[in-house]
Chain A
Amino acid sequence: MKDVLIALNKIKELGVIDDYAIGGAVAAAFYIEAVNTEDVDVFLFLSPSQNSLLLSLSPIYDALQRLGGVIDREYVVFGDWPVQILPAYKPLIEAAIKHAELVQYDDVESKIFSPEYLCAIALDTSRMKDFYRVATFIEQKKVDRKILDELIDEYQLGDKTLKVLNWNEP
Chain B
Amino acid sequence: MWARLKIPERLPFRSLGSKLIFSFLLVVLAGGLASSIIGTYMVGNTIMAEAQKKVRHDLDSAWMVYQEKLRRIQDVLHLTAKRDLIMRAVTGGQVEVLRQELERVRIDYGLDFLTLTDKKGVVLTRTRTPYQGGDFQGNDEMVRRALKKEIVAATEIVPQEELAKEGPELVRQVYMEFVPTPKAKERPETRETSGMMLKAAVPILDINNNILGVLYGGNLLNRNYEIVDKIKDIVFKGERYKGKDTGTATIFQWDLRISTNVKDKSGLRAIGTRIARDVYDQVLENGRAWIDRAFVVNEWYIAAYEPIRNIKGEIIGILYVGTLEEPYTDLRNKVIYSFFGIAFLGLVLVLFLAYFITRSITRPIGELVEATKVIAGGDFSHEVSIQSKDEVGHLAFSFNRMTRTLKDTMEELYILNNKLQDLNRHYLEMVGFITHELNQPMGVLKGFLILLRDESLGPLVNLNQKKAISTMLRNVNALINMIQKYLQLGRIESGKMEVNKVRIPIFAEALSSILEDEKPQLDARKMQMIVENEEAFRKVEGEADPVLLRIVFSNLIGNAIKYAQEGGKIWCGFKEEPEELLFYVKNEGRGIPADKLTKVFEKFTRLEGELEQRRGGTGLGLFNTKEVVERHGGRIWAESEEGKWANFLFTLPKGGKGE
Do the two shown chains form a genuine complex with each other? no
